[in-house]
Amino acid sequence: MPRSPKLITKQSGRKKTKSSQSNQKNYKRTKITLLVLSVLLIIAVAVSTLSIKPAVGAYYSAMDGKRNVLQAQEYLTAQNFSAASRSLQEAESNFTSAKDNLGKLSWLRIVPGAGRQYKAAKQMAITGELLAKSLVSVSETVVEITEPISGEDASANNISSEEKRAMLQNLYRSTPTLQSALSNLKLAEIEADKIPEKYLVEQLDEASGVIGDNIPMLKDYIEGAMIASRYLPALAGYPEEETYLFLFQNNGELRPGGGFIGSYGIIKMKDGELTQMETDDTYNLDKESEAQVDGPWQIPTLLSPGIPSWYFRDSNWSPDFPTNAEKAEWFYHEEGGTEPEFGGVVAITPTFIEYLMELTGSIKIADHPKTFTSENVTDLIQHHVEQRFVDIGLPEAYRKNIIGELANVITDRLFSLPREEWDDLFLVLGKSIDEKHLSLYFNDDDIEKFFRDRNWASQVQDTTVDNDYLMVVDANLASRKTDFYMERSWNYHLDLTGEKPTVKLELQYHNTAPGISWKYTRYRTWTRVFAPADSTVVKVTGSATDKKYYPKLDNNYEVNQELGKTAIGTFFVVEPGAKKTITFEYELAEKTEEYLANNSYNLLVQKQIGTLKPDLNITIDFPDDAKPSNVSGEGESKIEGNRVEIDSDLLVDRDFTVDVN
C-alpha cells in the first residue's frame, strides 16, 4: 500500500533526533525477533506434526514394557514361570518398539537441552531391550526345567524319578542358553554406562538409577544359574550317584568348627533323589581305629587326659569349615570308613534342625513317649543320647540312632512340602548358612570357589593389610552341653590415636547354668582371638594362670599365625551362675595411617560356627586429623567428637565402615 504523501513530507522536513534513531532500531529488532519466533513456531508445528506419533509411540511402548516386566515379577513370585516368560517376551517387543520410535527422533540430538534427554531415553530403550532379551532366555530355560512341577499340587515327592532325571538333564543342557543370557546382560551393562549421569529430568534419572542398581544383581543371579546348570546335576547325582559325608555338630558342646561331632552319616543322591541317609555314633568309628594321630596339644592336656591320639570326633579344631571338612574326610578314611570318596561334606547343628521343624511341624517317633517340636527337639535328643538310652536298656552303640530316625522323617516332610512353601524352605536354608548352622564343602574346586566368593562356605575370610579383623573362637573342653547356658558379650576398643593402633578386647561370659548335672556344669574353654596377621600381644588377663594348663608355654597364652591371622589362645573356667571377663590387649601390625587409607576404617567381625548371637560392642577413638563422619554396618552407632560407638551382635558376620574427614 502506498505511503501517505502528507506523512512523508512531514518527516522529511525534520532533523532526526537521537530518540527517533533509537526508536527505529527497536522497531527493527522487534521485527527480527518476531520473524525468528515465527520461523521457530513454524518449525515447532512441523516437527510436532512429523514427530508426535513416534514420540508418543516410544513413550507408551516403554510404559507397556515396564508393566510387562512388573507383571512378570508377580508371576515369578507366584512361581508361574510360563506366564512370566510370556510377559517378558512382550516386554522385549515393547522395548524394541520404543527403541525404533526413538530412532525416528534422532534429530533431537542437536537441540540444546533436549539432546541429553533424548540420548538417555534412547540408551534406556536399548538397555531395556537387552535386559528383556536376557531375561526371556532365562525364563524359557526355567519353564523347560520346571515343567514337571507346573501343577498346583506339585511337591518333590510326587515327581517321578524319570521327571527328576529329565529336569536335571534339561538343567545340564541349559548352560549355553544361560551363557547367551549373560552376554546380553553384559551388553546391557555397556549400553547403560552410556546413559548421561547428570541433568536428566526426574523420570529419566529415576529410571537410570533402577537400571544401574539391578544389572549387577541380575548378573550375579545368572552367573549363579550357570554354576547351577554346570554343577548342580552332578551334585544331585546326575548322571552318576554322588556321596556326601554328613556331620552332626552339637553346638551345646561348642568346638572351634561348630560343635562336638557326636554323629556322622553317609548321604547318597541319585538323579535328584535321596537314595541313602544313614547315621552312626562317631565313637563307633573312632573305637575301631588303631591310628595314633598327633593333634592340638590342648586335646590330650585339657580335654582327654590319658588319650594321646586325635580322633574323628574332635577333628574340627579349626574355625575354618573347609579346613575341617578336609580333615573330617581324612579321619573317616584313616579310621577305616568304607566309602571310597566323597563329593563334599555337609555339617549341621541342632539349631538347624529347630529351623527346619518350624516348617515340618511336630514329629512323633515310634517308641518315644514325647512328641518332637521345634522348641524341644534339641533337649529331647540330648536327653535320649545321654540318659534315656540307659533307662530303656538300649545298647550304647545305638543310642544316637534317634538322630537318623528324625532326619529321615524331616527329609520326607521337606520333600512333601507344597510348592507355595518352597520359598520358606529356601529362606530357612539361606538363614542357616548365614548364621552358620548349615555348613557346606565341595571337593569340586569351581563349586567351592563359588560358595567362598559369596561367603557361604563358613570360611575364615581373607582380609587386606589395611582392614581390621576380629573373631573369637571357643572350645568347650569337657563342659558337657553348657554352651546352651552361656551368655557372651564382646567389647572391642580400638585406639587409633597413636602411631600404631592398640586394641583392648574384653570377653564377658555368664554361665547361667543352675548347677552341675549330666547336662551342664562349669564352663571350661580354650578360647582363641583371631586378629590381623602379625599383631603383637601385650598381655592377657582374667584367664587361668596355673602352669598345669600351659605345660609347654612361658605365659598364660599361646600365639600362632593361622589362616592368615594372629591367633591368641588362653584357658579359663566359668563356674555355674558366675560371670568372668577375659581381657586381651594387643597392637596391630600396620601403622594407623594404613587403617585410615581412602579416608575410611574397615572392620570385619566374624561369627564362630555354631554360636547363637553374642553381643558385640565396638568403641573406636580416631586421631585429631581424622574426624569420623559416617558409620555403616548393622547396629546402632553414635559419633561423639572423635569417638565412634557401635552396639551390635554376631547373629551373622558383621562388616563395619567408618568414613573420616
Examine the fold and report which residue of 210, 235, 260 is the final residue of a domain before the chain moves on. Answer: 235
- Residue 500 sits in the same domain as residue 357: no
Identify the pLDDT of residue 450.
85
Cα distances from 110 to residues 105, 113, 117, 644, in angstroms, run 11, 9, 11, 52
- 260 pairs with which residues across the strands? 250
Examine the fold and report which residue of 182, 205, 235 is the final residue of a domain before the chain moves on. Answer: 235
Identify the pLDDT of residue 56.
59
- Residue 190 sits in the same domain as residue 257: no
Percentage of the chain surpassing pLDDT 70?
83
Q: Which residues of the chain have pLDDT under 70?
A: 1-62, 65, 73, 76-79, 81, 102, 105, 107-118, 148-155, 198-214
- Residue 73 sits in the same domain as residue 137: yes
Identify the pLDDT of residue 231.
83
**Torsion angle of the four alpha carbons 247, 560, 472, 633, in this order, in degrees rounded to the nearest 10:** -110
Examine the fold and report which residue of 195, 220, 235 is the final residue of a domain before the chain moves on. Answer: 235
Identify the pLDDT of residue 23.
55
- Residue 220 sits in the same domain as residue 247: no
Identify the pLDDT of residue 111.
59
Residues recorded for the chain: 661
- Residue 210 sits in the same domain as residue 250: no
- Residue 209 sits in the same domain as residue 251: no
Per DSSP, which regions of 234-351 are E strands? 242-250, 260-270, 273-281, 344-348
C-alpha cell at 465: 593389610
- Residue 392 sits in the same domain as residue 301: yes
- Residue 195 sits in the same domain as residue 273: no
- Residue 447 sits in the same domain as residue 558: no
Domain around 52: 46-235
Identify the pLDDT of residue 46.
44
Identify the pLDDT of residue 221.
74
* Dihedral angle sign, alpha carbons of residues 538, 542, 543, 547: positive
- 488 pairs with which residues across the strands? 509
- Separation between Cα atoms, residue 101 and residue 92, nearest integer Å: 14
C-alpha cell at 656: 563395619
Identify the pLDDT of residue 223.
79
Identify the pLDDT of residue 527.
98
**Quick check: 164 and 101 in contact, CB under 8 A?**
no
- Separation between Cα atoms, residue 163 and residue 230, nearest integer Å: 19
- Residue 276 sits in the same domain as residue 227: no
- 372 pairs with which residues across the strands? 363
Identify the pLDDT of residue 200.
55
- Residue 194 sits in the same domain as residue 259: no
Q: What is the pLDDT of residues 636-654, one digit of tens each?
A: 999 999 999 999 999 999 9
Number of domains within the chain: 3
Answer yes or no: is 25 within a domain.
Answer: no
Strand order in the sheet with 273-281: 273-281, 260-270, 242-250, 344-348, 438-442
**Quick check: 214 and 226 in contact, CB under 8 A?**
no
Answer yes or no: is 130 within a domain.
Answer: yes
Model-level pTM greater than 0.85?
Answer: no
- Residue 518 sits in the same domain as residue 636: yes
**Quick check: 481 and 253 in contact, CB under 8 A?**
yes
